[in-house]
Structure 1
Amino acid sequence: MRLLILGGTEFVGRAVTEAALARDWEVTVFHRGRHEPPAGARTLIGDRTAPAPEGLAALADGEWDLVVDTWSSAPSAVRDAARLLADRVGRYVYVSSRSVYAWPPAAGLAEDGPLVDGDPDAGEVPYAQAKRGGELAALDAFGPDRTLFVRAGLIIGPYENIGRLPWWLGRIARGGPVLAPGPRTLPLQYVDVRDLAEWTLDAAGAGLSGPYNLISPPGHTTMGELLDACVRATGSDAELRWTDPETLLAAGVEPWSDLPVWIPPGELYDAIHAADVSKALAAGLRCRPAAETVADTWAWLESIGGSAPQRPDRPPVGLSPEREAALLSDRRPAGSG
């Protein structure tokens, strides 16, 4: 298979690139040259945010069986690339997001749920509208039979540049009392970036089209299992001090951002951790154990000196040590429930 990756040097794109190279596919990576792509990939340098046609000039020639695009900003950038490639690429795979569903997406929402409005010609717009606009841009150029939308949820694993799992690993590695958001048995739903990559290549190779919620089954792991795995992976003396959601919320702790991954039961939890993924499972999605994801992410962090890269367009996550210490001094135990 001849694969073109738009991006391919950081998180999701890198995982797709590595998975394709492991299959002995012919991989071309189109990127801005800011990061080194995986060894074995052919490189094309360009900047899709630059004015046309200069920004995409490196893509003026060449044919590929499929293109994978992880773009999450202006839909017009997807539009321009898709139009340029429509006659020279067999299939367009757009890594989208479950954020395209109209708010609030109910627990158990499948791919036929209501969607936000999107404009394929839009410039900079909010994330949900950007991803939906990107879907529409790919659809306009390639049609419904040649487009595959990977609607991912929470993505974690090696090379994560958002900082969610890396923050937990770094915090737990420091040891001592750790503010752990309860309940300990809270089910979580996410996808390891490598599982996303493997499924995406399998699905594209099989000629699948349309949208797929791409995330683990609800309850693939729990908050307790995830943090316990962090303790084991780092080998630290961290003591998880479980604290009930009411205490944390009353103290002004922001779910998802102050304590990454964690969301207490409610509307936001249903939106993030309770998606219907039966369609992807039927199409072959396999999710590795949480302990493997955690251990591999820690091994990667250690290999780069312990500090994860941070996307410049996303704010840092996690509580400061000072705020965590203040919260620990005034917490109410959540128990094990």
Structure 2
Amino acid sequence: MDSAFVIGGTRFIGRHLVADLLAHDYDVTIFNRGNHENPFADDDRVTHVEGDRTDDADLATAARESAYDAVFDMVAYQPREVRTATRVFDDADAYVYVSSGAAYGEEEIPKREGALQGRDEATALESCTGDQAVDESGETYGNRKAEGDRAVFAAAEERGLRAMAVRPCIVYGPDDYTERLDYWIDRVANYERVVVPGDGTNVWHRAYVEDVASALRVVAEEGSAGHAYNVGDRRLVTLEEMVDLIADCLGDAADAPESAPEDAGDVEVVHASERELSIADLSTDDYVLYRDYPHVLDTKKLAALGWEATPLREAMQRSVDDHLATDRDGSDEDPGREREETLLDVLDTL
């Protein structure tokens, strides 16, 4: 394959996917509404087609007028959009849908993809009602992604399309507009004492964005029709270990502020239970990247295709360096430092 059609392509995962495809000698067409700056505007290997993916006519016209071997669907948020795309691009050599680890409907460790249509040791997917399928709220995100997976399976089994799904867990790295990791980097960079909810052993599987991008390409090239593939860091760390890793990376960063630690030993992690947090009107739910039950995805199936993850220390260093080069601070995720200071004062007296 040497040509790709990317629905999306200018923000975060899509941006890194396009960069990965270019690095592997693909010609790329990106299709989006043009609402965000196009980082590939000056690259003659990238063609930008403007349109709305929710408008079936726009999508069909773009497909008819573009060359592609592989199609990457980055921004399908309702199952109808997946069903439409798998019909519009029914002549593609590969159609890869970006699903999510949130599509899993059972809490088990690890969560496995199984084979065609979720057989063979697969973790059950979320159900999806008709109302959920057309909803746009965060509460139904996993339901809609799961139904998109089922649309991919149906396109493969019923119509012979080489359609596949990739399920990332929480994605982090350069250009992350969600600023979830930025909150923690900012905390570690600016405060000697960092409040970590629970006992610090919480595990929420994360995926470095460049690894998600390479996973999408590898699945397009090597994956099997009707299959889903999990993607996540090959080495997992607890929330407290993540804080320590950030501290070490800040110590090696050229642009770190004077307040930043030199290593993990300069940061005091303060554990706080739900009861202790309530002293300052805080809750574990106020802390981004905290999850009560461990969320772990099995990534062996993807690795069997030849995919390799970036070493965790290297991935975090790139993420920290990118954070320091931008004005992102994760402030929208901040539970409130003043309330944390109140909590810390109380805990010091206990």
**How would you bin the TM-score normalised by the shorter chain?**
0.7 to 0.9
1:19 partner letter: D
Matching of residue 101 in structure 1 with residue 104 in structure 2: yes
Per mean C-alpha deviation after superposition, the further-off stretch among 171-180 and 156-165 is: 171-180
Alignment size in residue pairs: 316
C-alpha deviation, 1:159, in angstroms:
1.4
Matching of residue 28 in structure 1 with residue 29 in structure 2: yes
Matching of residue 328 in structure 1 with residue 344 in structure 2: yes
Match of 2:90 in 1: 86
2:208 partner letter: D
1-structure distance, mates of 2:348, 2:5: 52
Per mean C-alpha deviation after superposition, the further-off stretch among 33-42 and 177-186 is: 177-186
Match of 1:313 in 2: none
1:135-166 Cα distance to aligned partner (Å, 9 max, x none): 23334445466111111112111111222111
1:302-334 Cα distance to aligned partner (Å, 9 max, x none): 3333457x9xxxxx423122222222223379x
Q: Which has the higher helix share?
A: 2
Match of 1:233 in 2: 249
2-structure distance, mates of 1:171, 1:10: 25
1:8-39 Cα distance to aligned partner (Å, 9 max, x none): 11111111111111112111111111223342
Distance 1:140 1:263, change over 3 A: closer
1:250-300 Cα distance to aligned partner (Å, 9 max, x none): 556444x52222334xxx32xx2x333332233334222333222212222
1-structure distance, mates of 2:24, 2:232: 23
Match of 2:144 in 1: 130
Where 1:260 maps in the other structure, the secondary structure is coil
Q: Percent identity?
A: 27
Q: Normalising by structure 1, report the TM-score.
A: 0.82
- State how 1:1-337 maps to structure 2 within 5 Å: 1-39=2-40, 40=43, 41-50=46-55, 52-54=56-58, 57-87=61-91, 89-102=92-105, 104-111=106-113, 112-118=122-128, 122-124=133-135, 126-143=140-157, 146-184=162-200, 186-187=202-203, 189-209=205-225, 210-217=227-234, 220-235=236-251, 236-237=260-261, 239-248=267-276, 251=279, 253-255=282-284, 258-264=286-292, 268-269=293-294, 272=295, 274-307=296-329, 316-331=332-347
Distance 1:212 1:12, change over 3 A: same
1-structure distance, mates of 2:244, 2:5: 39
2-structure distance, mates of 1:146, 1:55: 19
C-alpha deviation, 1:2, in angstroms:
0.8
Distance 1:332 1:286, change over 3 A: farther
C-alpha deviation, 1:42, in angstroms:
1.4
C-alpha deviation, 1:170, in angstroms:
1.8
2-structure distance, mates of 1:156, 1:186: 17
* Counterpart contact for 2:183–2:329, Cα < 8 Å: no
C-alpha deviation, 1:182, in angstroms:
4.9
2:57 partner letter: P
Gaps of 5+ in 1: 311-315
Q: Which has the higher strand share?
A: 1
* Counterpart contact for 1:4–1:27, Cα < 8 Å: yes
2-structure distance, mates of 1:90, 1:328: 57
Any runs of at least 4 consecutive aligned residues in structure 1 with deviations exceeding 6 A, and if so which?
Answer: none
Gaps of 5+ in 2: 114-121, 252-259
1-structure distance, mates of 2:250, 2:317: 8
1:8 partner letter: G
